Amino acid sequence: MSLIKTIKSDYKKHQKYGANFFVIVFMTQGFWAVFQYRIANFIHLHIKFKPFRFVFILLMLFWKKLIEVLTGISIPSSAKIGSAFYVGHFGNIIINANAVIGDNCNIAQGVTIGISGIGERRGVPIVGNNVYIGANSVLAGKIEIGDNVLVGACTLVNKSVPANAVVLGVPAIIVSYNGAKDYL
């Protein structure tokens, strides 16, 4: 998907939740952070000529840091995030540089998607499509989150989760297989 189409999909996802153009573009910190990520990721993947790359990366670092300070949301340019990505609320969102997140995913405030584990278990989560990650949840380690998964608020996920599961708790346990369809 092209950069413009991906940004449009993110915008439409925000619009789906009732916000208008002015609110999304000028007042929604989640959209600012995702927009900054899309531009930075495009430069990270497509600008290969060394002098231009250095200048763009330097500018992107300052822009990223400014957005990070204003929003409390850290999304590195090297993360892999699919289309229609929605960050619903301001603050305390950390995504590891090696994280992979599928299409049509929502994350709430306070979410961490990070590295954890030792030896062969050390790694970063791979999040499937149509996943909802609730407020203050942590996904850590070399795990896979299946498609259509709902991660409840304040949940620690440190083991892989099958498709269509609903997980809650510390550590996470599967409470049903109703999935995230009503949350996206």
Rg (CA), the chain: 16
Letter for the amino acid at 129?
N
User: What is this structure's pTM?
Assistant: 0.90
Q: Does the structure show a pLDDT above 90 at 90? A: no
SS3 57: helix
* Cα dihedral 109, 115, 120, 121 sign: negative
Beta-carbon count within 10 A of 46 CB: 10
Predicted pLDDT at 27: 86
C-alpha–C-alpha distance, residues 82 and 177, integer Å = 24
- The mean predicted confidence, pLDDT, of the chain is 91
Report the percent of the chain where pLDDT is more than 90. 66
Which of these ranges, 58-67, 80-89, 92-101, 167-176, has the smallest mean pLDDT?
Answer: 58-67
Predicted pLDDT at 11: 92
Q: Does the structure show a pLDDT above 90 at 144? A: yes
Predicted pLDDT at 139: 97
Average pLDDT over residues 138-160: 96
Fold for 92-184, please state it. UDP N-Acetylglucosamine Acyltransferase; domain 1 (2.160.10)
Q: Where in the chain is the domain with CATH 2.160.10.10?
A: 92-184
Predicted pLDDT at 55: 76
**pLDDT-based confidence at 72, cuts 50/70/90?**
very high
**pLDDT-based confidence at 62, cuts 50/70/90?**
confident
